[in-house]
Chains A and B, each alone.
Chain A
Amino acid sequence: MKDTIHPNPGENVVEEDLSAIPVRVDQVTKQYFGDKFTAVDNVSLDLKENQITAFIGPSGCGKTVTLRLIAGLEYPSFGRITCFGETVRGPGPERGMIFQAYTSFPWLTGLENVAYGLKINGVGKEEREEKARKMLKLVHLEKFEKTLPKEMSGGMKQRVAIARTLAQNPKLLLMDEPFGALDAQVRWEMQEMMIEIIERERKTVVTVTHDIGEAIYLADRIIFFTRQPGKIKADIPVEFKGGRRYPRKEEMMLLPGYVELETRLFAMMREEIHGRVS
């Protein structure tokens, strides 16, 4: 694992061309309360372009913190994160983020919400509304242009948030348990919608989840975090899908290899829960 990040440990890392790597997390440690609590412990990883990576692990394993560090919403205590060669020094529109909490602005209609990001970045009214309409269609909300979030269901609010993030055409899509607040049937619908969108828009995606089934369905690569301190326990390519993405979840579940991977992840999760005193 380490070898893929630093092919030649003796060489100066700075000279390496990072502009083709969507995200490099380089020996990142995140501590809180001075140095009393280490949430992320010396984590290194590279993300590949157009890949969906899932961060999975028990609660308190540092998966969300790592995502927030990539988003620039927090800063690492040690190490460095680069996004296409640029050191991350704060949040920016090229790294779009979707949160577990509903973040569609309640004072804006569906269309205004989706156009918001474009508006604050100086895109003209007609252009941004046209783009926003397209994005609403992508999340199947074309009939809810004028609807306020208070009249929407949780799933619809979350779809507005997804459309709003995508409207800015981010290079990187970061999702922090995006469907965690939704009920099981809506969550499953949203997962399939997400696959459809990512397949169409060709995005590099990182999603944080504690749902093993969701991780396997969405991801091309699963990174399993371990708890206290937060380290990478395993880096698992999802090989049984053969690089394909399935618009229907049950189609993927019928593939040989699905159950094996799910079982393996369950076993790892059990080991995490029972293997440590916390």
Chain B
Amino acid sequence: MTGAERIAAAFAGSGKRAALMPYLMGGFPDLDGSRAIGEACAAAGADMLELGVPFSDPLADGPVIQAAGNAALRAGATLDGVLEVCRDLAPLVPVVVMCYANLVFARGAGRFAASLAGAGACGLIVPDLPHEEAPEVGEACDGLGVALVPLVAPTTPEDRLAVIGAGARGFLYTVSVTGTTGEREEIAGGLREVVGRAAAHTDVPVAVGFGISTPRDAGLVADAGADGVIVGSRLVRIAAESEDPAAAVGAAVAELGEGLR
């Protein structure tokens, strides 16, 4: 089964109103800690995992994920270390790796894609690799059965959405807000329009992320017609604040799952 097929099966078989994809920062608080968090997410009913690779200059991330990435790097996290965690989690749940472009290019698109495939990753998200810059990485991923998942934003115009949606693999990562990752007081307005616009332009599932925090938020995203919900900063914050990060994140993921029943 290719990565894209495994992702499609996860969306189709979630048994919830929308599939739940928690984000965790690889190597945070350390490699073992992030593995335990990933296992707890899987046990708590996560349908997929988004596994972040820490980067020194994450332009799409707000303060919580920035801080976790910096802490992971200080604790010695490396790309190969995070991919080890991926290899351990992949049998439990489909894993999509989130990684900034420079780390991909430093290894080379072909070798990077091979490393992902070797670690059992189903997909790759590169938040600073827009459509125009993506062909090389996309071809390398396609050749190895790894889905290069594109992002669309509320600012993306219709004609551009059509091009990105048509080339999407795995799912269409639909950013709910004009901004970086992070918890917000209120979930973005116009969700139904954002989801509807994305869905109209692609054949793959639509998953919504950025600014989705609570079980109530997750339910609203499902109400808006999304196929999947991605929750990041709140879970990373819980991991940072808790004595037992895996248990605390697992409990939060279970609650998010309830919000999608």
A and B: interacting chains: no
Interface positions of A (Cβ within 8 A of B): none
Give me the interface of B with A, judged by CB distance under 8 Å. none
